[in-house]
Amino acid sequence: MGVLPEGLGEAIRGTARDIADVLRGAPDTGLPVPRLTWTVGETAAHLGQANLLMAELAAARHHPYGDGTVAGIAAANEEALAAFPERAAAPLADLILDQALAFVDAVEERRPDEIVETPMGPLDPARLGAYLLTHMLGHGYDLAKALGRPHMLDRSRVELTLPFMVAAMPRVADPAAVARLTARYRVRLWGGAQFGVTIADGAVTTTHGPLDRPDCTVLTEPLAFFLMALGRIDPVPVMATGRALAWGRKPWLGPRFPGLFVAP
């Protein structure tokens, strides 16, 4: 058995190939990307840089990046992007794919319990792989939307991101949104995956698996959950079309859940 959970290595490789295919068909890398301030070329350059950083972290080459906060990571992204002028589709597609493949090779040389310092805090190799997949799926979706191509998200890939997504939630909680809130959420994705989120006195803790005696249970379609979590779609239409439902002792907490977090 490898260091990465079953299916994660292939999901990383497959997602990188899908993104490279989308990017190589780009007629113009100067096109704007919906919901971002970047162009297609800038988004692809950022993704290539991020994959390179992840491959180096997997190979035990530590690189400080930001201060661990959402704002700090955003500032580091802009600084790194300004220092990297490549915006052409073909070389960026190669960079994204090559570094994703290098990551999988390198991470399999790590011990399963070894801790890696990352821009989102200390993670074991399995969660580091889920972090890479999360980041690629988010920006791969951005590129596909900008270029009018099918995106590369599916339920199995989204579920493979959960170990990182759940671990990262306390770090990306909005302090103003969780202040003075006491709530216990059980979040379920269509198909069975679930996790718990507890908020008390401004602190957020998460657990993998079900949470006993939740105040509110949120049931959501996996792709909708992922895209809401990354700020790519708005929660109101998702709820209005039945792709997210809430019930329990305090069902009114359900609509508040997406707004408790800020996408990095």
Tell me: the pLDDT tens digits for 61-106? 887 888 878 889 999 999 999 999 999 999 999 999 999 999 999 9
Coil, strand or helix at 169: helix
Structure confidence at residue 123 (pLDDT): 96
Cα distances (Å, whole numbers) of residue 124 to 49, 112, 178, 237:
21, 7, 27, 36
CATH code given to domain 8-167: 1.20.120.450
Q: With pLDDT > 70 as the criterion, what percentage of the chain qualifies?
A: 100
Structure confidence at residue 201 (pLDDT): 86
Domain 173-260 has CATH 3.30.1050.10: yes
The torsion angles phi and psi of 240, rounded to 5 degrees, stand at -65, -25
Mean pLDDT of the chain: 95
Per-residue pLDDT at 172 exceeds 90: yes
- Flag the least confident range among 92-96, 148-152, 188-192, 244-248: 188-192
Are 20 and 95 in contact by the 8 Å Cβ rule? The answer is no
Pairing between β-strand 121-123 and β-strand 183-189 as defined by DSSP bridges: unpaired
Structure confidence at residue 1 (pLDDT): 59
Domain edges within the chain: 8-167, 173-260
Are 175 and 124 in contact by the 8 Å Cβ rule? The answer is no
Residue 255 makes CB contacts below 8 A (sequence gap 6+) with: 235, 239, 246
Q: How far apart are CA 172 and CA 134, in angstroms?
A: 14
Q: With pLDDT > 90 as the criterion, what percentage of the chain qualifies?
A: 90
DSSP codes, 49-86: HHHHHHHHHHTT-----S-SSHHHHHHHHHHHHHT---
Read off the tokens for 174: 């909005």
pLDDT tens digits for 51-62?
999 999 999 988
Per-residue pLDDT at 221 exceeds 90: yes
As a whole number, mean pLDDT of residues 33-44 equals: 96
Rounded to 10°, the helix 8-24/40-58 angle is 150
